[in-house]
Amino acid sequence: MSAAARLGAYLAALAAVFVAAFFIGGAVVPQSTVDSWTQQAEESSHSQTPDEPENPADSDH
């Protein structure tokens, strides 16, 4: 088996694992959990004050 074929097989298997995880997660995780996570993420992203830069490296020190 050539290196290109092995790499292709590896990438195909990796893609299959990610696709399976996506669909299994969609079937197993309840919608209420997703809604809760989304709400928490939105609240935490809006909690920054205007004086606080999003990226500390962007500050003028």
pLDDT digits (tens, 9 = 90+) for 15-25: 999 999 999 99
Between the alpha carbon of residue 38 and those of residues 13, 15, 27, 41, 44, the distances in Å are 30, 26, 18, 5, 10
The torsion of the CA quartet 16, 17, 20, 22, rounded to 10 degrees, works out to -110
30-49 pLDDT, tens digit each: 999 999 999 998 888 776 65
pTM: 0.53
